Chains A and B, each alone.
Chain A
């Protein structure tokens, strides 16, 4: 079984976002970049599928040389091959998907995995766009997956419950937290990853359909009223919520 996982290199979730000098993106100075958290679940699921069904796992990342660090982490977790689609252009989700779909077309995967979203742009769109571009069905926000010959049953999270989805393969899946418990790279894995090659390819040129006009910080909230310091404040708090805020 050929398994592909598309991964991203993003600011870690503890990052305090500062707006960059262009006014359209974040200031990257001093920011710690990591493997996108949801992509860890995607990689883990591919590794488990390979352990059950055999085959190989290929990790793909679109970006600058900095993304090699994230590809190395994937290799250290146990991914067989890594591909860097070299790119430093400004892209929207559509043009990211085009470059990834172009690369995946040549690989002929049975299963393509993504994290359910990148925690930078939060579009939650690229994986599903790739599915459409490749003419594949998809299941997004997957928390459980069983793969058989030519089909899969996936559970996806929806508001207040789960949907059980049957899909034909090949298909695209996007991973939600809870799908599995991602492994830590072993020392042996980390050492092995250092010697595994990262294949570099030029990404398909970007043709974005969305233009960023500006990036701003949301209006700052100011600290409010301390109503009290023990249970006796409960009545006053309820009065404020009812009469002042009018939310109950």
Chain B
């Protein structure tokens, strides 16, 4: 199958999930017999686009235009669908990031394609693609077959491996496409970063706090540990609903579903909707006073103890080890 993979860049840097998508595109092409075209959209992105050959792209195309410097779901969506037609792609792949999730449904409609969203496993042969995707925030896994001629697939970040680059690069081909003002009906005017924090959806290590932290004034203990580990701060629904922490940090069924390498749950009992959002983490540590808390049922390591004593000790041990 011919695979078109949209590789997202922000500030001319290819995102890690984009590299994971290119590598997975290569896997699908190898399993089904085909080639991989990678597409990068932006302005001044040709050089960085060329490096995708190192992750398995057979060829690279760029839509390099000053009007494409800012993200526009309408213009980017049109560009991806047009390139899919130009290269006669059977599969269009992208990462299930904020941008990928915004684009894939639009592209699927333009191509009359079935959509498999936020997938965690893909199997392909010459005729079919079968995808596994978590539903009910991971309480169940759905195995689906895409029965349409064209198939659009988004991949959950942090699940597929990007591997190392082989170092090879190519000179990208320019995309020929005329865009009118109407194609920019929806366009980004500005981006504001949350005050220097790492987002839970992108973090490899997350330290989350729950009601056991007893109040927002104690969350500096969570922040200190997260910062010593170079990780992100997460929160349970209870503390977000209580206004202790911003909703961007919420992990669980009505927050973010995460799968970091290490998830440390502190003072979180482990409500089912929280477990759904984090139990696919590779390693889970629970720190809780209540030895019967459900969180211990999914934890690889646990400390049954007072978070206010354990957290400072843990932070200092981590600093000792990592020199942070």
| CB within 8 Å of A: which B270-287 residues | 271-273, 276, 279-280, 282-285
Q: How far in angstroms is the closest Cβ of chain A from B167? A: 26
A123: chain B residues within 8 A (beta carbon): 105, 115, 117-118
B199: chain A residues within 8 A (beta carbon): 159-161
The answer to whether A164 touches B192, judged by C-beta atoms less than 8 angstroms apart, is yes
Give the complex CA separation of A234 and B243 in angstroms.
30
Q: Of the candidates B71, B117, B272, B283, which one forms a contact with A163 in the assembled complex, judged by CB atoms under 8 Å apart?
A: B71
Q: How far in angstroms is the closest Cβ of chain B from A154? A: 9
B87 within 8 A of A: no
A110 within 8 A of B: no
The answer to whether A132 touches B191, judged by C-beta atoms less than 8 angstroms apart, is no
Q: Of the candidates B104, B142, B302, which one forms a contact with A215 in the assembled complex, judged by CB atoms under 8 Å apart?
A: B142
Specify the chain A residue showing the minimal Cβ separation from B261: A247
Q: Of the candidates A120, A178, A213, A224, which one forms a contact with B299 in the assembled complex, judged by CB atoms under 8 Å apart?
A: A224
A227: chain B residues within 8 A (beta carbon): 301-303
Interface string of A138-160 (1 = CB under 8 A from B): 11110000000000010011111
B190: chain A residues within 8 A (beta carbon): 163-164
Interface string of B91-110 (1 = CB under 8 A from A): 00000011101101110111
B166 within 8 A of A: no
| CB within 8 Å of A: which B116-165 residues | 116-118, 130, 133-148
B12 within 8 A of A: no
Q: A17-B136, A166-B189 are in contact. Are A237 and B115 (CB under 8 A)?
A: no
B314 within 8 A of A: yes
A38 within 8 A of B: yes
Q: How far in angstroms is the closest Cβ of chain A from B199? A: 4
Interface string of A179-220 (1 = CB under 8 A from B): 000000000000000000000000000001111111111100
Q: How far in angstroms is the closest Cβ of chain B from A89? A: 15
B322: chain A residues within 8 A (beta carbon): 248
- Among B23-31, B38-46, B58-66, B248-256, the one that faces the other chain is B248-256
The answer to whether A233 touches B106, judged by C-beta atoms less than 8 angstroms apart, is no
A163: chain B residues within 8 A (beta carbon): 71, 188, 190-191
Give the complex CA separation of A126 and B310 in angstroms.
45
The answer to whether A119 touches B254, judged by C-beta atoms less than 8 angstroms apart, is yes
The answer to whether A160 touches B186, judged by C-beta atoms less than 8 angstroms apart, is no
A21 within 8 A of B: no
A234: chain B residues within 8 A (beta carbon): 303, 310, 313-314, 316-317
B229 within 8 A of A: yes
A237: chain B residues within 8 A (beta carbon): 285, 301, 303, 314, 317
The answer to whether A93 touches B140, judged by C-beta atoms less than 8 angstroms apart, is no
The answer to whether A157 touches B248, judged by C-beta atoms less than 8 angstroms apart, is yes
Q: How far in angstroms is the closest Cβ of chain A from B257? A: 8
- Among A8-16, A60-68, A71-79, A80-88, the one that faces the other chain is A8-16
Q: Of the candidates A125, A161, A165, A178, which one forms a contact with B104 in the assembled complex, judged by CB atoms under 8 Å apart?
A: A125
The answer to whether A248 touches B302, judged by C-beta atoms less than 8 angstroms apart, is no
Q: A26-B136, A122-B134, A163-B190 are in contact. Are A37 and B113 (CB under 8 A)?
A: no
A1 within 8 A of B: no
B298 within 8 A of A: yes
Give the complex CA separation of A167 and B184 in angstroms.
8
The answer to whether A241 touches B255, judged by C-beta atoms less than 8 angstroms apart, is no
A228: chain B residues within 8 A (beta carbon): 303-305
Q: Of the candidates A139, A177, A223, A240, which one forms a contact with B186 in the assembled complex, judged by CB atoms under 8 Å apart?
A: A139
Q: How far in angstroms is the closest Cβ of chain B from A165? A: 5
The answer to whether A241 touches B301, judged by C-beta atoms less than 8 angstroms apart, is yes
B224 within 8 A of A: no
Q: How far in angstroms is the closest Cβ of chain A from B67? A: 14
Give the complex CA separation of A123 and B97 in angstroms.
13
B318 within 8 A of A: yes
A107 within 8 A of B: no
Give the complex CA separation of A221 and B286 in angstroms.
14
The answer to whether B197 touches A160, judged by C-beta atoms less than 8 angstroms apart, is yes
The 5 closest A-B pairs by CB, nearest first: A209-B114, A137-B186, A137-B185, A234-B313, A128-B105
User: 24 A-B Cβ contacts within 8 A?
Assistant: A17-B139, A93-B117, A119-B136, A122-B135, A125-B104, A128-B102, A132-B109, A138-B102, A140-B73, A159-B97, A162-B194, A163-B71, A171-B186, A214-B143, A218-B141, A221-B279, A224-B284, A229-B303, A230-B305, A232-B313, A241-B262, A245-B301, A247-B261, A247-B282
